[in-house]
Amino acid sequence: MPKMKTHRGAAKRFKVTATGRLKRQKGYHSHLATHKTRKRKRQLRRPTLVSETMEKNMKRLLPYL
């Protein structure tokens, strides 16, 4: 069986935590930020975990992480 290829776009966007979950950054922070509240922009800076419903799909893209 040949080696599986890692999805390079996903590899750049996700990190695996110590417990095996996937960590990601939130979107909607990079531009058009002047009308967003300070609180909203501050909360968008913090990383979050991939939802449990999407985790299986994402792990398929990252076979060796």
pLDDT at residue 65 greater than cutoff 90: no
The sign of the CA dihedral 10, 14, 62, 53 is negative
33 within 8 A of 8, measured Cβ to Cβ: no
| pLDDT tens string 2-61 | 999 999 999 999 999 999 999 999 999 988 989 999 999 999 999 999 999 999 999 999
Q: What is the chain's alpha carbon radius of gyration, rounded to the nearest angstrom?
A: 15
pLDDT at 11: 95
Domain map (residue ranges) of the chain: 9-61
pLDDT at 1: 86
pTM for the full predicted model:
0.78
Determine the CATH number of domain 9-61. Answer: 4.10.410.60
